[in-house]
Structure 1
Amino acid sequence: MSQHSASPTTAPDPSAGEAILRLADIMATLRDPDGGCPWDVEQDFATIAPYTIEEAYEVADAIARNDMADLRGELGDLQLQVVFHARIAEEAGHFTLADVIASIADKMIRRHPHVFGDEAQGYGDAARVGWEQIKAEERAERRETGALAGVALGLPALLRAEKLQKRAGRVGFDWPDADGPRAKVFEEIAEIESAPDDAARAEEFGDLLFAMVNWARHMTIDPEAALRAANAKFERRFAAMEAEAGDAFPGLSLDAKQALWQSAKARGQ
Structure 2
Amino acid sequence: MELIMTHTQPFAGKTAIVFGGSRGIGAAAARRLARDGADVVITYVSAPEKAAETVKAIEEQGGKALAVKADSADPAAIKAAVIHAVERFGQLDIAVVNAGILMIKDVADFSVEDLDRMLNINVRGVYLAIQAAAGFMQRGGRIITIGSNAAVRSGHPGSSVYSMTKGAVAIMVKGIAVDLAPQGITVNNIQPGPIATDMTSDMIDALKPMIPVRRAGEPDEIGGLVAYLASAESGYMTGSSITIDGGLAL
Q: TM-score range by the shorter chain?
A: under 0.3
TM-score by length of 1: 0.22
Higher relative contact order (CA 8 A, sep 6+): 2
Indicate the structure with greater helix content. Answer: 1
For the pair shown, the structure with the greater C-alpha radius of gyration is: 1
Bigger fraction of residues in strand: 2
Please, what TM-score do these two structures have when normalized by structure 2?
Answer: 0.23
